[in-house]
């Protein structure tokens, strides 16, 4: 177990992310996502709060399932428009020293040789502060835009993702020996060809001879985050993730998810305690409880129900405009985000949800618990989850920008620091050291990539 909480800001290089309607809130600055100054300020604030990383979600495609067209997605800015998150990293790294950057990249729509190069480059430029949030993507419209006739089914996406990661590991870990770069001016030898190896990967989806085009970056393999939560997604996370983003709306669901994931990690010869769990959390903080409740109410009034149903219809690949708001959500097997479906239908057998309830709940941060209260009350809740439920930290989800982050860092972090639950200073130089502990610059030896 790590001793202190890990904090990530969960955000997106777009107007809306997972709180539809947010941009209409008075004073909200979500529309400034195209402004570099907005993001550098976010980076400074997150580092001031001792956050491990800013975690950028990203999707390809448009949310056109609701009502069978894209009108609501465009009207409500549901993750469209969205700029490329990776391009923000150099600017945000420039104004910080320790903060990490987790970028979401899809194994379905990129090539591993290309992606390995991009992330190695960023890891060099940030002195080892990069994480890769591995996703397989879910929107049909992305497939159509990116050269496929239709979305690959989930199993094929994960088959491809397995191979994708094998290629990346071979490039990052095995291609360049540690002492391959000699920079010997007298002999005119920059790198020793004997120590730079082909990977000769031949698979069903990829054929990559290598070698990797980049010399080893500080972390070699970036820190690996994953969030898949279907059965196959969990296996994939147990094979690859160093930290898992938990997306369960209830404590019971979170507990059973963690238990299950630890078992899967142990089955693969990994130390289950080395796998970290970060649930999303939506903090709403006020100086008094009354103020916090008023804030909560006012945020709720600004939730866009249509926008939320549009987002969820994309997650589930199910047109929620066709359902009666008061009918219970029935379980279906979907080729989109099965985990989001399961969160409401399977993971907590004691709870049933109507369409309306799911929409109301999900409008403030999708499938994560909302915590409302004074700074002390919010800190108490996080401490409870950290000490009793067994999570290692939190993804702070924003329902106002930059208000959620500012309130959290200015009001809650000082209390968590008084309780020695959040770092005063960063322990390590690289992101992996700050996530897994000082000295852990590289993948652990029990990670499947090393076996």
Ligand X SMILES: Cc1cc2nc3c(=O)[nH]c(=O)nc-3n(C[C@H](O)[C@H](O)[C@H](O)COP(=O)(O)O)c2cc1C
Binding region for ligand X (CB under 6 A): 57-59, 104, 106, 135-138, 154, 227-230, 232-233, 245, 247, 280, 337-339
Interior/surface letters 207-237, b for 16+ CB within 10 angstroms, e for the rest = ebebbbebebbbbbbbbbbbbbbbebbbbbb
Closest CA to 221 of 176, 271, 191, 179: 176
Q: How far is the CB of 167 from ligand X (least distance, A)?
A: 19
Burial of 283 (0-12, 13-18, 19+ CB in 10 A): buried
Q: How far is the CB of 238 from ligand X (least distance, A)?
A: 12
Q: How far is the CB of 289 from ligand X (least distance, A)?
A: 29
Alpha-carbon distance of 117 to 119, in angstroms, equals 6
Q: State the DSSP code for 55.
A: E
**Residue 96 vs 338, nearer CB to ligand X:** 338
Q: How far is the CB of 168 from ligand X (least distance, A)?
A: 16
| Sign for the pseudo-dihedral over CA of 418, 419, 421, 426 | positive
**Residue 233 vs 403, nearer CB to ligand X:** 233
CB neighbours of residue 296 within 10 Å:
19
Which H/E stretch holds residue 293? helix 289-302
**Residue 33 vs 176, nearer CB to ligand X:** 33
Q: How far is the CB of 140 from ligand X (least distance, A)?
A: 12
Alpha-carbon distance of 207 to 281, in angstroms, equals 41
- Pairing state of beta strands 189-191 and 393-397? unpaired
Q: How far is the CB of 227 from ligand X (least distance, A)?
A: 3
Q: At what angle do helices 355-362 and 305-316 cross, to 10 degrees?
A: 100
**Residue 222 vs 233, nearer CB to ligand X:** 233
Q: How far is the CB of 374 from ligand X (least distance, A)?
A: 27
Nearest residue relative to ligand X (C-beta): 233
Q: How far is the CB of 234 from ligand X (least distance, A)?
A: 7
The DSSP annotation for 102-165 comes to: EEEEETTTS-HHHHHHHHHHHHHHTTS-EEEEEE----HHHHHHTT-SSPPPHHHHHHHHHHHH
Closest CA to 258 of 347, 391, 447: 391
Alpha-carbon distance of 312 to 65, in angstroms, equals 9
**Residue 23 vs 236, nearer CB to ligand X:** 236
Q: How far is the CB of 357 from ligand X (least distance, A)?
A: 19
**Residue 18 vs 180, nearer CB to ligand X:** 18
**Residue 223 vs 411, nearer CB to ligand X:** 223
**Residue 232 vs 447, nearer CB to ligand X:** 232
Contact predicate 110/146, CB 8 Å: no
**Residue 13 vs 76, nearer CB to ligand X:** 13
């Amino acid at each position: 177990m790590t001793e202190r909480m890990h904090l990530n800001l969960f955000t997106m290089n777009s107007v809306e992310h997972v709180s539809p309607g947010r941009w209409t809130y008075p004073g909200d600055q979500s529309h400034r996502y195209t402004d570099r100054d907005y993001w550098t300020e976010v980076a400074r604030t997150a580092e001031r709060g001792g956050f491990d990383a800013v975690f950028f979600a990203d999707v390809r495609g448009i949310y056109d399932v609701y009502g069978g067209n894209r009108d609501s997605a465009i009207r409500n800015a549901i993750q469209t428009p969205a700029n490329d998150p990776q391009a923000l990293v150099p600017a945000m790294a420039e104004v910080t020293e320790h903060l990490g950057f987790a970028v979401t990249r899809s194994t379905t729509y990129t090539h591993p040789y290309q992606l390995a190069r991009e992330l190695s480059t960023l890891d060099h430029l940030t002195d080892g502060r990069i994480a890769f949030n591995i996703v397989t993507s879910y929107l049909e419209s992305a497939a159509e835009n990116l050269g496929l006739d239709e979305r690959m089914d989930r199993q094929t996406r994960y088959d491809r993702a397995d191979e994708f990661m094998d290629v990346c590991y071979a490039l990052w870990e095995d291609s360049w020996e540690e002492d391959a770069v000699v920079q010997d001016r007298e002999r005119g030898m920059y790198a020793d060809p004997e120590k730079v190896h082909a990977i000769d990967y031949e698979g069903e989806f990829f054929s990559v001879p290598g070698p990797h085009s980049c010399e080893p970056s500080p972390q070699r393999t970036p820190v690996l985050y994953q969030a898949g939560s279907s059965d196959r997604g969990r296996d994939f996370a147990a094979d690859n993730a160093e930290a898992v983003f938990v997306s369960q709306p209830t404590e019971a669901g979170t507990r059973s998810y963690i238990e299950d994931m630890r078992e899967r990690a142990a089955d693969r010869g990994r130390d289950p305690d080395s796998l970290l769990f970060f649930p999303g959390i939506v903090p709403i903080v006020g100086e008094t409880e009354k103020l916090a409740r008023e804030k909560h109410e006012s945020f709720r009034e600004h939730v866009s129900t249509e926008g939320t149903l549009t987002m969820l219809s994309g997650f589930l690949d199910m047109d929620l405009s066709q359902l009666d708001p008061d009918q219970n959500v029935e379980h279906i097997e979907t080729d989109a985000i099965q985990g989001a479906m399961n969160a409401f239908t399977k993971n907590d057998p004691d709870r049933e949800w109507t369409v309306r309830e799911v929409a109301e709940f999900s409008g403030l941060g999708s499938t994560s618990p909302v915590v409302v209260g004074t700074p002390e009350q919010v800190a108490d809740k996080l401490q409870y989850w950290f000490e009793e439920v067994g999570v290692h930290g939190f993804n702070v989800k924003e329902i106002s920008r930059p208000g959620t982050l500012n309130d959290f860092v200015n009001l809650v972090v000082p209390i968590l620091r008084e309780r020695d639950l959040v770092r005063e200073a960063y322990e390590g130089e690289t992101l992996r050291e700050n996530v897994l502990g000082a000295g852990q610059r590289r993948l652990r030896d029990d990670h499947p990539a090393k076996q």
